[in-house]
Amino acid sequence: MTTRALRSIYQLKVSLKGLRPPIWRRFLIASTASLNDLHQVLQIVMGWADSHLHEFTKDDIRYGMHDAEFPSAVRNEAKYRLNQVLKQEKEKLLYTYDFGDDWEHEILLEKILPFETDTQLPTCLTGKRACPPEDVGGIWGYRAFLEAVADPAHPEHDSMLEWATGDIKQPFDPEHFDLAAVNEMLRG
């Protein structure tokens, strides 16, 4: 009989659904992290501002922030560990952020690695492309935003840049991903 370690390291890949080219991150996290901890890590690695509601879904079971008014609608994410929800490599979990823009993220358990005490957790290993700005209007709004900021002659070019970056002279680079900055925030 083989026994699984009580604690291991999960290598996860999170991909923002519905966009091409894809926006994704690969990171390591303790298998014993709560879903609430995972939410905090996702906010950092993806580049969100944690200013909207969110929810995890696996096998039609919903996990999120505890709501005293509707205690049975969503399970309290703080009471569930990652290894209680994702148990085997290749299993997936859905993470929805901002119910207005409805950003859906697919979380794939790529590898279960042995726990090593000297491994810095959580750690982002790699990723591609910038996170969309908050409140941009979901997938369709982000596409319109990219079109506007890419064309200086577009009537909304300056206003979109100022809204997203705070300065019409500061470009928005949809290809930019700063791994070092993400890992610094994860350690902070």
Q: Where does the pLDDT of residue 2 fall: very low under 50, low under 70, confident under 90, or very high at 90 and above?
A: very low
| Angle in degrees, 0-180, between the axes of helices 35-46 and 179-187, rounded to the nearest 10 | 150
Q: Give the tens place of pLDDT for each residue, 32-60.
A: 999 999 999 999 999 999 999 999 999 99
Give the pLDDT confidence score for residue 70 in this predicted structure: 67
Which two three-digit tokens encode residue 75? 């399970």
In a domain, 27, yes or no: yes
Domain identity same for 79 and 160: no
What distances in angstroms separate CA 98 from CA 6, 9, 88, 123, one per listed residue?
33, 28, 28, 24
If one compares 40 and 116, the residue with the highest pLDDT of the two is 40
Question: Does the bond joining 122 to the residue before it have cis omega, within 30 degrees of 0?
Answer: yes
Mean pLDDT of 169-178: 90
Residue 135 structural domain: 131-172
Question: What total number of domains does the chain contain?
Answer: 2
Q: Give the tens place of pLDDT for each residue, 140-166.
A: 999 999 999 999 999 999 999 888 888
**For residue 121, pLDDT beyond 70:** yes
Domain identity same for 95 and 168: no
CA angle 34, 40, 43 (to 5 degrees): 140
Q: Where does the pLDDT of residue 5 fall: very low under 50, low under 70, confident under 90, or very high at 90 and above?
A: low
